[in-house]
Structure 1
């Protein structure tokens, strides 16, 4: 076989491989739909409960002593998770079948990220600085009232798209929401 034919065959193989989407339906589902479970706390009382009773971490320099996380650390950790989810979403190739699901998930994550970076950071600061409980509750309620309707709209749409996609691809899922 001539060098030219080998080169043409190699080029054709590369084109075929790059045009094929090697991402499994399960991966699309996990990244677009399942990863959204990490942000559902803003819809109900989940995040407020988490801020009231923060997680613990190992005390610096200790192998066994734990201390509560600051609320700022809690929110910053959630921001990192959302940013990681957005990175994974951006790495997915959109297909005719997955485009709306990816775009809806991206919109939902971007929407929540902005809320965390602004309002929830302010709320975390109030907690960490010992603001009166009434102010904290009022701020939490104001955040919920301002943002929950749009969150629910995006989350419901993503859930609907996810259910359809999972059913079509025989992905076994137990739905808690929607």
Structure 2
């Protein structure tokens, strides 16, 4: 009987240790859910379109073979990969408290909102940039994207930041938010 009790106690202890390993500190949680949203700062913004269209410029004087192909697509693919990795990491986290649960939900909603846009619309724009298609047509597509998704993105983004500010203050995290 003593053996069974000991084994049971060890089993419960192992479960507690394993589950606590996935619960980040308040600071780690904040960094992963709120600070990582900085990667999205140029979503549905003219600045991201400029980044993509800048790849259309041919640079004179580069040695043969140095002119990279699909530069704009690589930029979008890098964003997609980072967003997918961040979603996975957030989903795998156990929120350290109730406030964190709300932030987790809002952060996931934000990332899930932008991911399909990067995969479809932004990848289409990037492909057009890499194919050096008409810059005016590309600008029109980008403007339509900004009009369609800009307000929804901003609302979700501000929700995450507002919750993040309150969370940082409550947990005495040394964070400064820009205007």
Please state which band the TM-score falls in when normalised by the shorter chain: 0.7 to 0.9
Residues 87, 108 of structure 2: 8 Å contact kept: yes
131-140 or 41-50: bigger deviation: 41-50
1:105 corresponds to = 107
How far apart are 1:97 and its partner, in Å? 2.2
Unpaired runs of at least 5, structure 1 = 55-64
How far apart are 1:74 and its partner, in Å? 1.1
| Partner SS for 2:98 | coil
Give the number of equivalent residue pairs: 168
Q: What is the TM-score normalised by the length of structure 1?
A: 0.84
Alpha-carbon distance change, 66 to 2 in structure 1, aligned in 2, over 3 angstroms: farther
Quick one: higher RCO (CA 8 Å, sep 6+), 1 or 2?
Answer: 2
Cα distance in 2 for partners of 1:131, 1:171 equals: 47
For 1:156, which of 138, 158, 163 is the aligned residue?
Answer: 158
Cα distance in 2 for partners of 1:28, 1:84 equals: 15
Q: What is the TM-score normalised by the length of structure 2?
A: 0.84
Higher helix share: 2
Unpaired runs of at least 5, structure 2 = 56-65
How far apart are 1:16 and its partner, in Å? 3.9
2:148 corresponds to = 146
1:78 corresponds to = 79
